[in-house]
Amino acid sequence: MDLRGKRVVVTGGSGFLGRRVVAALRARGCAEVFAPRSAEFDLREKQQVIAMYGTLRPDVVVHLAAVVGGIGANRAHPGRFFFDNLVMGVETLEQARKHGVEKFVGIGTICAYPKFTPVPFREEELWNGYPEETNAPYGLAKKMLLVQSQAYRAEYGMNAIHLLPVNLYGPGDNFDPESSHVIPAMIRKMEEARRAARDEVVLWGDGSATREFLYVDDAAEGIVRATESYDAGEPMNLGSGMEIAIRDLAPVIADATGFRGRIVWDTSKPNGQPRRGLDTSRAERAFGFRATTDFATGLANTVQWFRANVPL
């Protein structure tokens, strides 16, 4: 698909990932890119979704809008995370079908994978078990967007695809201590401790869980490439191929922030999913996507942005 002549709506386009996707689309020469905010169109309300389509008249929709957070936020708000994400996906895709959208790009989550998925996660393992309990409501709500996409492809011939990005990080991330994910949460804790000359930070769990991280600009490039070139119904992983234990990640972030104190693990708090690491070969074969940002470089950029933009 040549996106230069298309009207593209990016839901959640003012968010952390969305801003990068909008920029990547414009860099491709796509002149008509729209990033409606929730204050304009509340995607949980059917009539407002209809109004969005009537007003913006998109040819392509990239559905990034979501209610997200770390383990603490998922435990505190399982009902909200389930309902808001489910209803946004259902209504946004249904109205895309009714309004004759040419292509719908659904963005899922790595949280949809079963708790004990063998590493590296392959897309065919997606239905072989129940997600990790702390984020299951969110993961299952997003997983239903895949089901809906495949059902609409089968019945209506709709070109709806589904992407599964791994944990993202980068400049502009959410550093709120109540809702942030692991990298921004660690950066904030260690930077606060360094500035206050404290000699320890306390981190959740025992550090044994592993995660894979994808730089946000790389994720945006993968999404745009899939929008241009991927037209099949099977879900597609987007990742970096780098799995790291949280206990090994912590000293890396300590070094990046200049924190020299002790790292204490609060084992009364949950670890989340035991392991996460993706098989990204399908995306490379299908549309030539491979992450290019070195982790040390990406982390340094993130710390630098935090220091310049987040008051403590």
- On whether residue 262 sits in a domain, the answer given is no
**pLDDT for 70 beyond 90:** no
**pLDDT for 1 beyond 90:** yes
The count of structural domains within the chain is: 1
**pLDDT for 38 beyond 90:** yes
- In 3D space, the residue among 136, 111, 10, 12 whose CA is nearest the CA of residue 66 turns out to be 12
pLDDT at 69: 87
**With bands split at pLDDT 50, 70 and 90, how would you rate the model's confidence at 286?**
very high
Residue percentage of the chain with pLDDT more than 70: 100
pLDDT at 164: 98
Residue percentage of the chain with pLDDT more than 90: 96
Q: Which of 53, 113, 130, 138 is catalytic?
A: 138
Domain residue limits at 35: 3-172+212-242+275-293
Q: What is the mean pLDDT of residues 195-201?
A: 97
pLDDT at 185: 96
- On whether residue 117 sits in a domain, the answer given is yes
**With bands split at pLDDT 50, 70 and 90, how would you rate the model's confidence at 295?**
very high
pLDDT in tens, 73-88: 899 999 999 999 999 9
pLDDT at 12: 97
Round to whole Å and give the CA distance between 236 and 41: 28
- On whether residue 53 sits in a domain, the answer given is yes
pLDDT in tens, 85-138: 999 999 999 999 999 999 999 999 999 999 999 999 999 999 999 999 999 999
Q: What is the mean pLDDT of residues 17-37?
A: 97
* 138 is an active site residue: yes
The helix/strand/coil state of 221 is helix
Q: Could you count the other beta carbons within 10 Å of the beta carbon of residue 93?
A: 24
- On whether residue 309 sits in a domain, the answer given is no
- For every residue of 23-79, DSSP letters joined together read HHHHHTT--EEE---TTT--TTSHHHHHHHHHHH--SEEEE-------HHHHHH-HH
- On whether residue 20 sits in a domain, the answer given is yes
- On whether residue 178 sits in a domain, the answer given is no
Q: Which two tokens stand for residue 239?
A: 């990742």
Q: Which two tokens stand for residue 100?
A: 């004759």
Distances (CA, A) of 72 to 68, 77, 135, 211, 244: 11, 9, 10, 17, 21
Q: pTM of the predicted model, to two decimals?
A: 0.96
- On whether residue 34 sits in a domain, the answer given is yes
Round to whole Å and give the CA distance between 207 and 216: 24
Q: Tell me the CATH number at 56.
A: 3.40.50.720
φ, ψ for residue 64 (rounded to 5)?
Answer: -100, -20
pLDDT in tens, 162-185: 999 999 999 999 999 888 999 999
pLDDT at 312: 86
**pLDDT for 139 beyond 90:** yes
